[in-house]
Amino acid sequence: MFDTDVERDKVQKAGRRGFLVVGAAAAAGVVLWSWRRPKVLAVAAAAPHEVTIVQFSDAGKELQKVHAMQVVKTEDEWRKQLSPAAFEITRHADTEMAFSGQYWNLHDKGLYRCICCENALFSSETKFDSGTGWPSFWAPIAKENVRESRDASLGMVRTAISCTLCDAHLGHVFDDGPPPTHLRYCMNSAALRFVKQA
């Protein structure tokens, strides 16, 4: 089949190279698979899809924009992970009583993350005293990190705000905020976890 030993040798080498390339691709596939898989292993309640968010360090430094699979968990998993109030608010769009939460009157410098998935949501730099009894901000830390949706519950039309990464209900946004945006992101304390700036 081969004219010379040299030629046979060439073919064998090419075969080995081919195997190595396929092997590397397969290994990369496994890495990708295992990186994407854990978040959805536990019987997904909804089909997860890829989202884009901006990551921040606990010190509030913008790190990078990343594509990540949406965090999807079952009701039971969320209930186990969260306090009863946080569960009802984030997973069932409940609202905490005004002046009852732990952050409406907090003035410390730091970062507010999602109580469900740690996605960075707001910075103390955009927090203001709205007088409403709910923590209020005039902008999210990154527009990618929150999502808006129409909420026609309770006989009024409002714009609900949720976490892009895990779909947690966070609160609503209104257009009576201070400059520069004139927006008021009216959040539930129980949907947030404050990380104080060191």
Catalytic amino acids? Answer: 186
| 166 in contact with Zn ion (CB under 5 A) | yes
Q: Minimum Å distance from CB 51 to Zn ion?
A: 10
Cα–Cα distance between 103 and 155 in angstroms, integer? 28
Residue 188 binds Zn ion (CB under 5 A)? no
Q: How far is it, in rounded angstroms, from Cα 165 to Cα 188?
A: 17
Strand order in the sheet with 146-151: 127-128, 136-137, 184-187, 169-174, 158-163, 146-151
What does the per-residue mask of binding to Zn ion show for 22-51, with x meaning CB under 5 A? ------------------------------
Residue from 51, 68, 85, 116 touching Zn ion (CB under 5 A): that is: 116
Q: Is 160 exposed, middle or buried (0-12, 13-18, 19+ CB in 10 A)?
A: middle
Q: Tokens 């700036």 label which residue?
A: 197
The residue assigned the tokens 């409940």 is 94
Q: DSSP readout, 76-98?
A: HHHHHHS-HHHHHHHHH---PPT
Identity of the residue, 60 or 178, whose beta carbon is nearer to Zn ion in the bound complex: 60
Nearer to Zn ion, 146 or 183 (CB): 146
> In the set 51, 111, 142, 163, which binds Zn ion (CB under 5 A)?
163
- Using CB under 5 A as the binding rule, whether residue 111 contacts Zn ion is answered as no
Find the radius of gyration of the CA atoms of the chain: 24
How many other CB atoms are found less than 10 A from the CB of residue 80? 10
Rule CB under 5 A: choose which of 117, 161, 190, 195 binds Zn ion. Answer: 117
| One of 70, 119, 130, 188 touching Zn ion (CB under 5 A) | 119
Smallest separation (angstroms) from Zn ion to the CB of 119:
4
| Distance in Å, CB of 20 to Zn ion, minimum | 41
| Smaller CB separation from Zn ion, 21 or 63 | 63
Q: What is the rounded CA–CA span in Å between residue 78 and residue 158? A: 25
**Judged by CB under 5 A, does residue 195 bind Zn ion?**
no
Residues that bind Zn ion (CB under 5 A): 114, 116-117, 119, 163, 165-166, 168
